[in-house]
Amino acid sequence: MEKAAFYILSFVIIVSSLFMITRKNPVHSVLWMLLTFFSVAGIFIQLNAEFIAATQVIVYAGAILVLYLFVVMLLNPKTHGFAKIPYRYGMTILVVIVFVLQIFMAASMSKVLGIKGVITSEKMAEIGNVKLFGAELFNTYIVPFEIASILLLVAMIGAIVLALRK
């Protein structure tokens, strides 16, 4: 059951992301990206990260994607096709080589290094993902959390300043 869910989700992720980068119409690309994000949320649920899955749906599929859709519809919706560069085939081969090497490295060299923590799947099922996550975020990572909020404030001001019509 778990295996079947994983394979179905990965198939949907890979196919929809391939469709996303090859569509001519940017609106279609955005909609394929929505499917990718929902499937990634499914993968997060498989990995005991329910809160992250909910955040993925709310933030990525809800906020970021609507922002992209607004800009796509606001600007010129016609596409510009793919890069027409003379060394395109060389670049394609390079990308494919890097890509295959990545997969082989991930498959062969992956070891679970580092210190094993105490939050096993059983403990996660007992206490609950959100409770453990909140305790970790607000006890250990409180300063990075504040910095992230300042980052969002700076990004908001920057976006307003950049998009303001003079």
Q: Which of residues 112-151 bind another protein (CB under 8 A)?
A: 112, 114-121, 132-133, 136-137, 140-141, 144, 148, 151
Which H or E run contains 95?
A: helix 88-108
Q: In this structure, what are the phi and psi dihedrals at residue 115, rounded to the nearest 5 degrees? A: -90, 130
Residues 58-117 that bind another protein (CB under 8 A): 59-60, 63-64, 67-68, 71-72, 74-76, 79-84, 88, 91-92, 95, 98-99, 102-103, 105-107, 110, 112, 114-117
As measured in angstroms, the least distance from the Cβ of 12 to another protein is: 11
In this structure, the dihedral spanned by the alpha carbons of residues 129, 132, 134 and 136, taken in order and rounded to 10 degrees, is -130
Q: Binding of another protein at residue 159 (CB under 8 A)?
A: yes
Nearer to another protein, 81 or 126 (CB): 81
Residues 10-29 that bind another protein (CB under 8 A): 10, 13-14, 17-18, 20-21, 26, 29
What does the alpha-carbon distance between residue 108 and residue 102 come to, in Å, rounded to a whole number? 10
Which H or E run contains 50?
A: helix 50-55
Residue 39's CB is within 10 A of a number of other CB atoms, namely: 20
